[in-house]
Amino acid sequence: MQAEQEATQRTRNPTLRRDDPYLLGLRQAQYESILDGYRNRKDLTQEEKRGLIYVRTQVRNLNARLHPNLLNRIRYLRPVNWIFNWIRGRAALVDGYNSQLQDQDRRTVQEQNVQRLSEEMKKAGFKVSLEGPLKRAIAQDRPYFNLPYAASDDAKTDYVLHFKKLPGTDAYYLDNFDAATKPTPQEVLRGNPIVRQNFSLIDDYALSAHEAAAVIRQIPVFRNIDGQEKWLITDALGERRWVDFDLQAALKKYPIKDLRDPARMQALVTALHSGSSRDITFHKNSQTHELRVQVDSWAEGLLFKDKNGNLVDADRIFQSNSNVQKVLSMAHEEAVVRELHPRRF
């Protein structure tokens, strides 16, 4: 039980090491409690007697480690301690119990790491379980390893997850991942290149699996950073950077019908913030038009497409209305001037 508890604490709190005085003190207290519990019992089984012998040797060992001096350091060096146990006929007994506890420790460390890593994966948007591969990799006690991942809800993106072990601890963590476009056979035949990028999960603004899939397809990613609307784009040099873009202000430049209803407007904004496109309706010359809108790749404006997926120059469409209004305004101003300053014959 004590081995399991210590392994659980070490994986949950990586700052705790195997020789941490706090953990050693807890182990000593547990062993002393066992000795106190069995001290006055007369009906001990042979196995219980053997267990108490082991516990007594461990209490002395722990006391020496918690209160070290030169004599204790020499006495409890591993080879010296083994010789003392051999002379007393306890070497096999101590080795046997140590082996059992080490096995329990390894199993618990493995289970705790798999549980923690699974939680980290879900938090990052990787929801498909990798329990089996994680167990096998952790059992090998490697300093780092990677596992391929296929999302159940995204057949167009491949991922590779990179795990690392915190130095000097038993705890693993999900450090970063690769996201790559997965071309269709038709795209392969056309020679479309695979786009692959690496994404750190220890950065201040780490991206999720869904957001990474958007980035490698030149779709801006929205974040509210310190109360400011920010969009992550990939510039012409292939570098990722955050830019400012006021989505609602951009939408209000156009006579979009959906903006008249607060609920529909919020749904539209939410969809565009998530990187999706959205069907919208607007009026022009007493006619209703339906288009699909999305944020452009540079997060500088909006893209509009018709039902066939063709780009539509919405600015040009609406500019014509603006020009008409401008002409009418100029005509009105000219009429006012003529009225104030009538031409004399």
How do residues 282-309 score in pLDDT, each as one tens digit?
A: 877 777 778 999 999 988 999 999 888 8
> Are the CB atoms for 297 and 220 separated by under 8 Å?
yes
How do residues 34-93 score in pLDDT, each as one tens digit?
A: 889 888 888 889 998 899 998 999 899 889 888 988 888 888 888 988 898 899 888 999
Q: Is the pLDDT of residue 244 over 90?
A: yes
Higher pLDDT, 338 or 266: 266
> Are the CB atoms for 216 and 180 separated by under 8 Å?
yes
Own/partner long-range contacts of 23-27 (Cβ < 8 Å, ≥24 apart): 24/62, 24/65, 24/66, 25/66, 26/2, 27/2, 27/58, 27/62
Model confidence band, residue 336 (pLDDT cutoffs 50, 70, 90): very low
Q: How many residues does the chain have?
A: 345
Q: To which residue do tokens 């995204």 refer? A: 154
Looking at the DSSP bridge assignments, the partners of residue 148 are: 160
Q: Is the pLDDT of residue 344 over 50?
A: no
What DSSP line would sit under 220-232, residue for residue? -EEEEETTEEEEE
Residue 336's H or E segment, with its range, is: helix 314-340
> Are the CB atoms for 38 and 56 separated by under 8 Å?
no
Q: Which residues of 262-275 are buried (b: 16+ CB within 10 A; e: fewer)?
A: eebbeebbeebbeb
CA quadruple 133, 134, 139, 141: dihedral positive or negative? positive
Paired tokens of 315:
């600015």
How do residues 26-43 score in pLDDT, each as one tens digit?
A: 888 988 998 898 888 888
Cα gap 220→194, rounded to integer Å = 19
> Are the CB atoms for 280 and 258 separated by under 8 Å?
yes
Average pLDDT over residues 254-262: 89
Rounded to a whole number of angstroms, the distance between the first and last alpha carbons of the chain is: 113
Cα gap 200→254, rounded to integer Å = 38
Q: In the chain, where are the structural domains located?
A: 2-106, 124-217, 247-331
Cα gap 228→118, rounded to integer Å = 32
